[in-house]
Amino acid sequence: MKNILSVLITSLTAVAFFPAIANEKPPTKTLSKDYQHYSYSPYVKPKHATRPLWGDTHVHTNLSTDAGLASNRLPPEMAYRFARGEEVTSSLGIPAKLSKPLDWLVIADHTDGMGLIGDILKSDPEIMGFEQVQGWNRALVEGGEVAAQAKVDLVKTFSAGKVDPKLMALYAPGSTKYQSLWQKAVADAEAFNEPGRFSTLIGYEWTSLINGNNMHRVVIMRDGSKRALQFEPFTMTPPTGSPDPRDLWKYMDKYEKVTGGKILAIPHNGNISNGIMFPLDAQWNGRKFDKSYAKQRARLEPLYEVTQIKGDSEAHPFLSPGDEFADFETWDKSNLAATELKTKDMLAGEYAREALKRGLAIEERLGTNPYKFGLIGSTDTHTSLATAEENNFFGKNSTDEPTGIERGKIRLKKIGDGALMNWETSASGLTAVWAADNSREAIFDAMQRKEVYASTGPRITLRVFGGWDFDNKDLNAQSFASIGYEKGVPMGGDFTKKPRAAKSPKLMIAAMRDPIGANLDRIQVVKGWVDHDGKTQEQIYNVTWSGERAIDKNGKLPAVGNTVNVADATWSNTIGESELSTVWTDPDFDKKLNAFYYVRVLEIPTPRWTTYDAHRFGIEIPKGAPTTIQERAYSSPIWYQPN
């Protein structure tokens, strides 16, 4: 307080005794050419990204039909307040707050049927004549398990195209209801956008379902209301909408052409698409894709949602049998609507690592890589609450918030002779963007250049640069990032042209644990390439790790250990390291082969959300549920192409 007061007193004294100075107009003379591009403070306009900004691209509020049907009563305003760190009351009346505020948020309510549930709850006379509405209205009034099952029914009805078309027309673009809802959604985003403190990006979820197979995309604009209001969201329902991504891309191209703005789409995690998210030769409808398809997809879909509430989509043990960490929060039973069981031949079209490999193969055939994407994490929460921490998880739907009930034992949907249980829901994930400032523009631009990474929840700090001549001096330099940009490219980029003297590409990697989280176990590099026979390959390298462990004769690194006390839902940082870093050189480099590299950072084991529930509420851990979890972060790849 003394320092602040002295500054104020000094300022006031200057005004009192030197009125001429106080009233003097600022000089009008411009800086000389020598100083026009110079700032006294180096942080005024930094050349490169300086910090990771944490956010969520995929939050649903009560405006989304399925969220509202599952008892979400929180509007967008509450989602923004919660994300920026305020305490709010959940739909079931529980006080909720994040351990740390987010830096930015995208509310991505479903485009089709937006606002329908609010009108059902109000028993709006305009729609109560529809038989389907009457059934959903009864379920909402009853609540609980009945409401949850009604949501499943709605998804099945919608994915089969059996919602009454007259009802859908009332909530379609061009209708009075839809126009009003979109205007309100944009106004809310504008009201909570505070550059420098908390940024809101305007977006929505295009809800494409192909016979129950998930093809959803989150669509995000760089722009404010002036441009966003010129186009109502694109839907999947004909006649104004379409389930085909090509038609979404046409809409996006038109948006940019007409408004002069910028827009991108992020494919939903593909593990419930039953193989159609990343086709190798043709779309689900048999239409072969060509170079124009590849170019359009690569340009408009620069990112992929690799982890979220509905499981992790980085890798699958069937596709990567040599990866001991591939079976992580795996969902592989059916499509979204549970109308078709999963078969092993579908898996290659669903997971990020395989898609990245397929992209290289397609590039050799068409000259363009359609799957050249960065990796992000999101929640896909339908509670309005962006909770990705295991000890603060409010579930996917408001019907399974942490009330003390055995929510892990709730059956989400029947699948063949089995079921998908609520304990299989993941407390995941978040996105970190490397940006120079907290603004819509800086965040969007980071997404577009893919300088982003995914986390399953913890706020692990991760930087990766790819180059040809990094060394340990660079790694330990004070200006680590500046050297990274000067001598290489950040995550999401392409290796520069290979110098003649260089033998192999190098990655300069640094990771630091979440300040209030668990220590780090190891850093791995995942490499994918197309071999000389045209077949895709992959290799995982343990590049640095905690403790005194050593790679064994089978090429494996022993486990880090486990400090979790399941009964008490506790753990300790007596193992692992708070920071890990290295300069890694590819030992198997072939300059003639296309390749990509991304980094995976693993934490030491910690309690899973189901373990926290069991301890807090004195209930049993659901049968089959893991008691611990090794949280992780995935960097966006860096790509190599032969000179």
In order, the DSSP letters of 154-223 are: HHHHHHTT-S-HHHHHHTSTTSHHHHHHHHHHHHHHHHH-BTTTBEEEEEEEE--EETTEE--EEEEESS
| Residues belonging to the chain | 643
443 within domain boundaries: no
188 within domain boundaries: yes
* 308 touches 378 (CB < 8 A): yes
Write out pLDDT tens, residues 538-554. 999 999 999 999 999 88
Q: How many angstroms separate the CA atoms of 627 and 427, rounded?
A: 13
28 within domain boundaries: no
Q: Which long-range contacts (CB under 8 A, 24 or more apart) does 153-159 make?
A: 154/65, 154/66, 154/69, 155/66, 155/209, 155/336, 155/337, 156/212, 156/337, 156/338, 156/339, 157/132, 158/65, 158/112, 158/113, 158/207, 158/209, 159/209, 159/211, 159/212, 159/336, 159/337, 159/339
Q: How many angstroms separate the CA atoms of 517 and 246, rounded?
A: 42
Residues 379, 476, single domain; the answer is no
Q: How many angstroms separate the CA atoms of 62 and 258, rounded?
A: 31
∠ Cα 210 215 217 (to 5°):
140
Torsion of CA 395, 401, 404, 409, to 10 degrees: -50
Phi-psi region of 331 (alpha: psi -120 to 50; beta: other; left: phi over 0): beta
514 within domain boundaries: yes
Torsion of CA 123, 127, 130, 133, to 10 degrees: -50
Q: How many angstroms separate the CA atoms of 331 and 307, rounded?
A: 11
What lies within 8 Å, CB to CB, of 209 at 6+ separation is 155, 158, 159, 215, 216, 236, 243, 336, 337
pLDDT value at residue 571: 97
Q: How many angstroms separate the CA atoms of 286 and 281, rounded?
A: 9
Residues 56, 147, single domain; the answer is yes
Domain region containing 364: 51-435
Residue the block writes with tokens 């100075």: 21
User: Which residues of the chain carry a pLDDT beneath 70?
Assistant: 1-39, 42, 144, 148, 155, 159
Torsion of CA 356, 362, 367, 369, to 10 degrees: -30
Does the model's pTM come out above 0.85? Answer: yes
Q: How many angstroms separate the CA atoms of 273 and 267, rounded?
A: 11
554 within domain boundaries: yes
Q: How many angstroms separate the CA atoms of 19 and 22, rounded?
A: 5
Q: How many angstroms separate the CA atoms of 329 and 311, rounded?
A: 5
∠ Cα 174 177 181 (to 5°):
100
Q: Which of 373, 401, 435 is the last residue of a domain?
A: 435
Q: Which residues pair with 467 in a beta bridge?
A: 488, 506
What b/e sequence results for 288-314 when a residue is b if at least 16 CB atoms lie within 10 Å of its CB, and e otherwise? ebeeebbebbbbbbbbbbbbbbbbbbb
Residues 428, 463, single domain; the answer is no
Residues 616, 486, single domain; the answer is yes
Residues 484, 403, single domain; the answer is no
Q: How many angstroms separate the CA atoms of 270 and 90, rounded?
A: 29
Q: How many angstroms separate the CA atoms of 142 and 163, rounded?
A: 22
Residues 365, 283, single domain; the answer is yes
pLDDT value at residue 159: 66
Residues 366, 497, single domain; the answer is no
Residues 133, 201, single domain; the answer is yes
Number of domains composing the chain: 2
Residues 225, 333, single domain; the answer is yes
Residues 366, 422, single domain; the answer is yes
Q: Which of 400, 435, 470 is the last residue of a domain?
A: 435
Write out pLDDT tens, residues 118-129. 888 889 999 999
Q: Which pair of tokens denotes residue 174?
A: 């061009």
Residues 391, 499, single domain; the answer is no
Residues 140, 253, single domain; the answer is yes
40 within domain boundaries: no
The one-letter amino acid at 105: L
431 within domain boundaries: yes
Q: How many angstroms separate the CA atoms of 527 and 597, rounded?
A: 5
